[in-house]
Structure 1
């Protein structure tokens, strides 16, 4: 069977609640590989909630549906404060990237408490700003940034990540609305360990199966290299999520 946009591969999925240091409860889900320990963990930070971003934003939903089975990777998704999805609404209100620092910390702390191995941050758009500003935690092994706008996050945050020294990978669409590959390479030059990958033909929202596969393959290349490249066919049991395209 070819893996399609709506394909749901086997995993152990459970709803979780993240508790922030400022007293909020955040709605989330953890998808683990079925019947085995994960080899790495993705802590996902979603796009701007005031423009529709949430834990079910399509790249993260597909990561949770595929990567536990295909790569042995655990995927933790959650709604930042005030954000809603079909799983529910997290407490609090949008903090424009400031108070969300507590949300990032809560996800990292949950990974430590649950003994999830080798946590990597994966930020998308607004989520990349959260990763850059608040993700330089000793427990984090690195970060993958999807469509980084570098608006709320600036040179000081890049300098801090350079000092942090952990891997930083930026996937920048050729036709991004905010930051395109040539400028991204200039901006990220402040971070010696940063890798900027321009993705031909892609746009900010990574619409289309080709774009999704590129993103998931590049993530897996860094966090679970033995599983790269990801297969496009699956012979085992599967489900179909009829709620989404």
Structure 2
């Protein structure tokens, strides 16, 4: 891993900006231990600073390659503590493995994962991480819709929702819940495209469906990632400027992963 200190270094795919990062464990009500990482803004003393808000991330389908390092979330954790003063909590749902380790249990199709979602929200509460938002991607959007209606969260942001497991009853429950729901739908999504998404989410009055031209389900490419991160920050921190594409402080460059951990199909 190399370090850069030159002014206005471009932020590239593998750029890692300063943050306080620590491995964490989540403990579920049904007795499992889940592995994860918490990235927080870096304080002047080198310890963690209080973030402006918190992202609790829910990864894509683990049976098709999704995990806490799926690339949008990895880049969120690498960039957003420094660029937007956000905390980013990532974790592997039950039975999911990543370089961080393997969470206890076994994949349960979104049913037992309700305890995983609750454990992540409770972790954020217990550690006084403020203004908590759920960010779900693909399978993670199903978990957010089915299990994320906790009064301590401020809202949810959905990336590429397939609406396979989440039903109209879950959408109706979110409508009654009343918290904001931001839905980013790629123009060329494999499962739910913008027009159908607008129809399905119309039953949630507070849902904002945003069609993203040119994007695909996996948000591959730096332009797609930047669009996602800009939308996340704009909704979690209204009035925040668009994220910069350069950084004039110290940074590191991560090793290129053996495989692009994108989170992969949600068939």
User: Would you say 1:12 and 2:13 are equivalent positions?
Assistant: no
Match of 1:49 in 2: 62
Counterparts of residues 60-75 of structure 1 (less than 5 Å): 60-75=73-88
Match of 2:103 in 1: 90
SS of residue matched to 1:152: coil
SS of residue matched to 1:206: coil
Match of 1:27 in 2: 35
Counterparts of residues 199-238 of structure 1 (less than 5 Å): 199-238=212-251
Which runs of 5 or more structure 2 residues have no equivalent in the other structure?
1-8, 44-48, 261-267
Counterparts of residues 137-148 of structure 1 (less than 5 Å): 137-148=150-161
> How does the TM-score come out when normalised to structure 1?
0.99
Shift of 1:243: 3.4
Larger Rg: 2
1:95-132 Cα deviation digits (max 9, x unpaired): 00000000000000000100000000000000000000
User: Would you say 1:39 and 2:47 are equivalent positions?
Assistant: no
Shift of 1:224: 1.8
Shift of 1:226: 4.1
Alignment RMSD (CA, Å): 0.7
1:159-178 Cα deviation digits (max 9, x unpaired): 00000000000000000000
> 1 CA distance for matches of 2:77 and 2:178?
28
Q: Which residue of the other structure, out of 177, 181, 185, is the alignment partner of 1:172?
A: 185
> 2 CA distance for matches of 1:84 and 1:179?
27
Match of 2:6 in 1: none
Match of 1:197 in 2: 210
SS of residue matched to 1:144: strand
Shift of 1:227: 3.1
Counterparts of residues 120-159 of structure 1 (less than 5 Å): 120-159=133-172
1:60-91 Cα deviation digits (max 9, x unpaired): 00000000000000000000000000000000
**Cα separation, partners in 2 of 1:152 and 1:177, compared to 1, 3 Å:** same
Runs of 4+ off more than 6 Å: none
> 2 CA distance for matches of 1:216 and 1:173?
14
Which runs of 5 or more structure 1 residues have no equivalent in the other structure?
none
